[in-house]
Structure 1
Amino acid sequence: MSALFPTYKRKQIRLQKGNGTYVYDQNDKKYLDFTSGIAVTSLGHCHPDVVAALQKQSECIWHTSNLFEIHQQELLADTLVKHTHLDLAFFCNSGAEANEAAIKLAKKFTKKNKIITFNDSFHGRTFGSMSATGQQKIKEGYGPLLSTFIHLPWNDIEQLKKQADNDTAAIMMEVIQGEGGIKIADPDFYKAVQEICEKNDILLIIDEVQTGIGRTGKRYAYEHFELDPDIVTLAKGLGNGFPIGAMLGKSKLADMFGPGSHGTTFGGNPLACAVSQSVLDIIFHDEFLSEVERKGKNFKAQLENHLINFPCVKEIRGKGLLIGIECERAGELIVNLEDQGLLTVPAGEPVIRLLPPLNVTDEELTSALNTILALFNNKYEKVT
């Protein structure tokens, strides 16, 4: 019997090693990894530059208290805000922690309590971020949660107009809902969100934990929709597997997070920041991001072209290399794909989520496409 709490429904696959886009299990079976640790290992497994950064920093100093100046934090913060209208960074250990920081900062700055989030959203599993999440299954059994969150239908401008008012501290959203099923709203919805925030002095918090750091072909996904967030939260791809999260914000918020107002023991330690800097040194280049966008568009178009004639497929959606196939029996198909050597992950109940490393090759994408098509051709009949 395992000494672990049974928190996870684990697969009978134990991944022993990884190299680039491939991983190997306890039987040395090879898999094409299109989970990337759920949008985490964006440069694949054991990327030489990331490994070198980790090794170099590990021989200097791993951790200091945040009571001391940490040069690696300063460098990383500058890199993160350089191409944005944001000014400041706070470092933590995860996406949930980043969202907790954002919630605290928004309430303290505005001196208001109400925060609007959306159905099917996911913001984390700590008490505050769980309260913000718009999925009941995440909350079952935990009793009363924070009552100041209002959950509205995604992509519903009229409901948003009714609920957003001068008592609202913030609107908090993923611009593309990841765990909720790779759901993208209409352009008018994003425009309405921005206008409502500006009209009512509401802070706009954008959760980029899954979509940020190049996943959608931009540094941050909000860039696709011309949004002007006050706060952005990051994690997952920020450290390529090394635990790190971040909250970015505008300079007007600085005084609310003065000494003693918030903190974390491990957040932003030199080791985490050095690893993260090596990741951004690769991803945050226009040429790299253009390739992510190109590969994502081509892969999505090929999936659409080949799967459109299967009645079981409802829709294929996403941006960059965050792609979802909404279809019948998605869970069963994910297991079938594993058997064929392709690892994917669900998003919501009916969606196969495809999250390859951002440096995946065209040949690897073609291999994944052929595996998917072979499975659908074997399982389902086409409509001609």
Structure 2
Amino acid sequence: MSGHQVSDQWRARYAGSLMNTFGPPKLVLERGAGARVWDTDGNEYLDLLGGIAVNALGHGHPALVEAVTRQLSTLGHVSNFFTTGPQVELAEKLLALVDPAGRGTPGKVFFTNSGTEANEAGFKLTRRTGRTHVVVAEGGFHGRTMGALALTSKEAYRAPFEPLPGEVTFVPYGDADALAAAVTDRTAAVLLEPVQGEAGVVVPPADYLATARRIATEHGALLWLDEVQTGMGRTGRWFAHHAAPGLAELGGPDLVTVAKGLGGGFPIGALVGLGDAADLLQPGNHGTTFGGNPVACAAALAVVATIESEGLLEHVTVLGRRLRDGLAADPRVSEVRGEGLLVGLDLVADGSAAVAEVAQARGFIVNNPTPRRIRLAPPLVLSAADVEEFLAAWPAILDEAIGSASGASGSVGE
């Protein structure tokens, strides 16, 4: 039986057994190594999406495999009546990473299994302030469960499930005046992504997060930063908000949510509460069966240790700069944004779906979050040679998908 027939069989079985929440799968993947994956047809791809910013160490990294194997062979799960060494060690490590300047801000961690669950926990925590109003940015994405969905602005996601819980006001991202007008003395929290991921890697003005901190403080509200996609070295820093001028001097955030790259592919998320926010959730207020299990925590500890030992923060910074510069050199690209290995670009005309399709056919996995935008979030272990391979192929991908530079000003439908 040919590989193509094998792939078709898996697709047919998928359609017959899984709920149609994602549509037909683009590929049936079989294995991975580093920043590359192979499908059941035997085709090789450079994975420039990294499981949507999840596979921080790529596929099959020895440190992650060893940590998970060792822990699972020792102790795989305990209930939340108990704790384990990996859980405590990871909580301590996350608190240290969130506060790199060593300012000594007290903090506590609640572990979950995903970013959505971390944001659900954060949403519940905001209610412990005695307030119910939350201000969130348009274009933000915070998850699909009912609480997290209430905080997500995309109408197509929200409309089928309304009414949604909470009293939520959406304001234009990066607009400090609109934020100031929306936050009142009734506001429990301001929730923002330091860089908006699903929207196509949208970067706010440099002073935006510091301004948000001032506005929240003025009204006694919490500043909550969703670092699910941007955290754990993705932008060349442990957390993207560390690059925000003036934020640390004003006290930093009260809440930080993190997931995706934290476990390097093993499901784990976390809500980090800082200062007074660390003690808002008390016994009986929230819970989880699997959150903080020892295997997930061991995986996350291995990810953190590897980022540190392999110097991946500096690597990501340098490589990301080269990737952005190379992409921006083509005249059919109107803008390139991002930091580290979270990169978004705008095409001069619609056609991102065609670009993603052609890229896949040529062996590169990329994402098209909007009709004109491409998003890249590859493993942090991506090599310089990988980047050069993609940049060499990039002009031909655009040639096939949207035409030559001379004809790029015309609209290309999807």
TM-score class normalised by the smaller sequence: over 0.9
Structure 2 residue ranges without an equivalent (≥5): 1-14, 100-104, 408-414
Shift of 1:346: 1.9
Q: How does 1:40-79 map to 2 (within 5 A)?
A: 40-79=54-93
Find 1:145's aligned residue among 156, 164, 171.
164
Question: Which residue of 1 is the match for residue 306 of structure 2?
Answer: 282
- Give CA-to-partner distance per residue, 1:16-63, whole Å, 9 cap, x none: 000001100011110000111000001100101100001101110100
Shift of 1:251: 3.9
Are 2:378 and 1:356 equivalent residues in the alignment?
A: yes
Letter in 2 for 1:352: I
Question: Which residue of 2 is the match for residue 105 of structure 1?
Answer: 125
Paired residues of 1:35 and 1:354 also in contact (CA < 8 A): yes
Letter in 2 for 1:128: G
Shift of 1:350: 2.2
Question: Which residue of 1 is the match for residue 405 of structure 2?
Answer: 382
Distance 1:174 1:10 in 2: 30
Distance 2:339 2:366 in 1: 17
Are 2:295 and 1:248 equivalent residues in the alignment?
A: no
Paired residues of 1:206 and 1:232 also in contact (CA < 8 A): yes
Question: Which residue of 2 is the match for residue 329 of structure 1?
Answer: 351
Are 2:344 and 1:320 equivalent residues in the alignment?
A: no
Distance 1:160 1:12 in 2: 39
Question: Which residue of 1 is the match for residue 213 of structure 2?
Answer: 194
Find 1:260's aligned residue among 284, 289, 293.
284
Shift of 1:157: 1.5
Choose 291-300 or 47-56, whichever is displaced more. Answer: 291-300
Find 1:347's aligned residue among 346, 359, 369.
369
Letter in 2 for 1:323: V
Structure 1 residue ranges without an equivalent (≥5): none
Distance 2:39 2:310 in 1: 35
TM-score normalised per structure 1: 0.95
Question: Which residue of 1 is the match for residue 113 of structure 2?
Answer: 93
Shift of 1:286: 9.1
Change (3 A) 1:188 1:295: same
Q: What is the RMSD computed on CA atoms of the aligned residues?
A: 1.6
Paired residues of 1:213 and 1:237 also in contact (CA < 8 A): yes
Shift of 1:243: 0.6
Are 2:198 and 1:175 equivalent residues in the alignment?
A: no
Letter in 2 for 1:156: D
Distance 1:207 1:152 in 2: 16
Paired residues of 1:217 and 1:290 also in contact (CA < 8 A): yes
Distance 2:138 2:87 in 1: 35
SS, match of residue 16 in structure 2: coil
Shift of 1:147: 4.2
SS, match of residue 317 in structure 2: helix
Question: Which residue of 2 is the match for residue 26 of structure 1?
Answer: 40
- Give CA-to-partner distance per residue, 1:194-225, whole Å, 9 cap, x none: 11112111100000000000000000011111
Question: Which residue of 2 is the match for residue 135 of structure 1?
Answer: 154
Choose 170-179 or 156-165, whichever is displaced more. Answer: 156-165
Shift of 1:288: 2.2
Letter in 2 for 1:39: A
Paired residues of 1:86 and 1:248 also in contact (CA < 8 A): no
TM-score normalised per structure 2: 0.88
Question: Which residue of 1 is the match for residue 233 of structure 2?
Answer: 214
Paired residues of 1:219 and 1:284 also in contact (CA < 8 A): no
Aligned length: 379
SS, match of residue 183 in structure 1: coil
Change (3 A) 1:7 1:139: same
- Give CA-to-partner distance per residue, 1:97-136, whole Å, 9 cap, x none: 000111111220x211100001111000010100000111
Are 2:204 and 1:185 equivalent residues in the alignment?
A: yes
Distance 2:311 2:222 in 1: 32
Find 1:270's aligned residue among 274, 294, 313.
294
Sequence identity percentage:
35
Shift of 1:13: 1.3
- Give CA-to-partner distance per residue, 1:245-264, whole Å, 9 cap, x none: 00111142343222221110
Paired residues of 1:87 and 1:249 also in contact (CA < 8 A): yes
Shift of 1:380: 2.5
Letter in 2 for 1:233: T
- Give CA-to-partner distance per residue, 1:148-193, whole Å, 9 cap, x none: 1101111111111111111111000101010112111111322321
Choose 345-354 or 244-253, whichever is displaced more. Answer: 345-354
SS, match of residue 75 in structure 1: helix
Change (3 A) 1:316 1:54: same
